Amino acid sequence: SYELTQPPSVSVSPGQTASIPCSGDNLGDKYGNWYQQKPGQSPVLVIYEDAKRPSGIPERFSGSNSGNTATLTISGTQPMDEGDYYCQVWDSNTVVFGGGTKLTVL
Amino acid sequence: QVHLVESGGGVVQPGRSLRLSCAASGFTFSGSGMHWVRQAPGKGLEWVALIYSGGGNQFYADSVKGRFTISRDNSNNMLFLQMNSLRADDTAVYYCARGPIGFADYWGQGTLVTVSS
């Protein structure tokens, strides 16, 4: 079965750029999607189909996908961006999630 | 706006069954695929099942295949998850989510299922 790998944690200073990678075999051949989840809340879609932002998601969130790595980038990171981030793909009629990355803004 | 409300969670003994429901509103339910996704306490997201808009196609995670059944009632804008032969490792918050097939764009608040004797 297909697997996605994320680092367990990423730290960033307020106002700086955070990059969260997600790796998988030939991931660039699939669409990468990203979700944000804050403690006690349901996940929220922040990027879909590699680089598209749903309505209401701030422009500081962007995505890219090439080769074996998809990346979620948060420019000008704010304290409110702290939370867990999950990458996800659709493969062989199944949804696959990465293990999640805890983003700390300090 | 899109609104998804899960219900039916609770405490159940191992080996027993439970049926989850998800009430949908604010969009054309009959035109949307729907997912169930779960999250064990302190763990990451795990996809459970997907049903296409017409209900004719269903897909499952290997961990629940043969035990869980996803279904829908498009007349009443309802999504269901029938869970049989429950195990301790099925303990999780269960979310219903609206899908385009490849991802989930709106999620409910979740319902907690605890499998314990």
Share of chain B above pLDDT 90, in %: 97
Q: Closest approach of chain B CAs to the CA of A100, in angstroms?
A: 6
Q: What residues of B are in contact with residue A88 (Cβ under 8 Å)? A: 45, 103
What confidence score (pLDDT) does residue B52 get?
95
Quick one: average pLDDT of B29-41?
97
CB-based contact, A1 to chain B, within 8 Å: yes
Average pLDDT over residues A84-99: 96
* Average pLDDT of span B65-71: 98
| Cα of A47 vs its chain's centroid, Å | 7
The SS3 of residue B30 is: helix
- pLDDT for A27: 97
Report pLDDT for A9: 98
Q: What is the pLDDT of residue B57?
A: 94
Long-range contacts of A25-28, Cβ-Cβ distance < 8 Å, separation of 24 or more: A25/A68, A26/A67, A26/A68, A27/A65, A27/A67, A27/A68, A27/A69, A27/A70, A27/A89, A28/A65, A28/A66, A28/A67, A28/A68, A28/A69, A28/A70
Question: Which residue has tokens 């996940």?
Answer: A43
Share of chain B above pLDDT 70, in %: 100
Question: B76: alpha, beta or left, given left = phi > 0 and alpha = psi -120 to 50?
Answer: alpha
Per residue in A20-58, pLDDT tens?
A: 999 999 999 999 999 999 999 999 999 999 999 999 999
Q: Using the beta-carbon criterion (under 8 Å), do A45 and B35 form an inter-chain contact?
A: no
For residue A14, the distance in angstroms to the closest alpha carbon of chain B comes to: 25
pLDDT band at B100 (very low <50, low <70, confident <90, very high): confident
pLDDT band at A15 (very low <50, low <70, confident <90, very high): very high
In chain A, which residues have their Cβ closer than 8 Å to the Cβ of B50? Answer: 95
CB < 8 Å from B in window 25-44 of A: 31, 33, 35, 37, 42-44
What is the model's pLDDT at position B69?
Answer: 98
Tell me what percent of chain A is helix, strand and coil, each rounded to the nearest 5: 5, 50, 45
**To probe the interface with B, which of A9, A34, A42 has the most B CB atoms within 10 Å?**
A42
Kindly state the average pLDDT of the residues A3-15.
98
Average pLDDT for B55-82:
97
Of the pLDDT bands very low, low, confident and very high (cuts 50, 70, 90), residue B101 is confident
Share of chain A above pLDDT 70, in %: 100
Reported as a pLDDT band with limits 50, 70 and 90, residue A62 is: very high
B116/chain A closest Cα distance in angstroms? 22
Q: Name which of A45, A84, A98 is nearest B105 (Cβ-Cβ).
A: A45
pLDDT at B114: 98
How far apart are the C-alpha atoms of A57 and A100, rounded to whole Å?
19
Say if A48 is an interface residue toward chain B (CB within 8 Å).
Answer: yes
